Structure 1
């Protein structure tokens, strides 16, 4: 839970005893218990509401599959690069432009064939 080990929780508790004192410690411990109970109730309420809204599909979901901690970018890239399956075999669009397109006709009309393209010497 949040990377807290038993030793760390024990040290936090000892520091709390010294800082709060024995008079205030039971009061703050009770408040902490109420806060934890409220958070647990809110989480359960959200889960129940999700189950009500999604219906039976909620129980069928594989939540471990949706866990973002399982995605290792290095593994994903390695699998993508080492994938031996052939590339996409869908027909590709021809890259050669249509010789009758308006753009090419305008381009041919604006530059004579023997004349070089304009060049700006001041451009970088």
Structure 2
């Protein structure tokens, strides 16, 4: 298991070095402070979860949180899927353009774009 590139053997070495550098006098105090910090972070996370459940109501339990995990989105796969799609042929694009014109949507200007010399 690796957390941010730190494997278990590297973590043990870091802990041994920290224990050696900190010294046996201050190590119990720092361990106690670390435990307090971890407990307070766990309590804050639990409080945030309870508040979300309160505010969202029964829908909170129905949400599939795994679908909202940003780690599942692979940009390479998204691009490959977009490139695999067949581009529209000209007749389909023309049909859509005529539907847009009939439906009253604003038409795109044709010809060269106007240029304003006084614009900043």
| TM-score, normalised via structure 1 length | 0.67
Of 7, 17, 34, 1:32 maps to: 34
Deviation at 1:84, TM superposition (A): 4.0
Q: Give me the whole-angstrom Cα distance separating, in 1, the residues matched to 2:108 and 2:60.
A: 47
Q: Give me the whole-angstrom Cα distance separating, in 2, the residues matched to 1:2 and 1:70.
A: 18
Residue segments in structure 1 that go unaligned for 5+ positions in a row: 98-124
Which residue in the other structure is 2:117 paired with?
A: none
Q: Give me the whole-angstrom Cα distance separating, in 1, the residues matched to 2:63 and 2:38.
A: 27
Q: Give me the whole-angstrom Cα distance separating, in 2, the residues matched to 1:37 and 1:21.
A: 24
Residue segments in structure 2 that go unaligned for 5+ positions in a row: 102-106, 111-120
Q: Give me the whole-angstrom Cα distance separating, in 2, the residues matched to 1:44 and 1:92.
A: 51
Q: Give me the whole-angstrom Cα distance separating, in 2, the residues matched to 1:5 and 1:95.
A: 58
Deviation at 1:34, TM superposition (A): 0.6
**Higher Rg:** 1
Q: Give me the whole-angstrom Cα distance separating, in 1, the residues matched to 2:25 and 2:14.
A: 18
Runs of 4+ aligned structure 1 residues displaced above 3 Å come to: 84-90, 92-97
Q: Which structure: greater helix fraction? A: 2
Say what the alpha-carbon RMSD is for the aligned residues: 2.3
Query: Residues 66 and 40 (structure 1 numbering): CA distance in 2 closer, same or farther, change over 3 Å?
Result: same
Which residue in the other structure is 1:101 paired with?
A: none
Q: Deviations over 1:79-121 (max 9, x none)?
A: 1121248577642335576xxxxxxxxxxxxxxxxxxxxxxxx
* Pairs aligned (count): 97
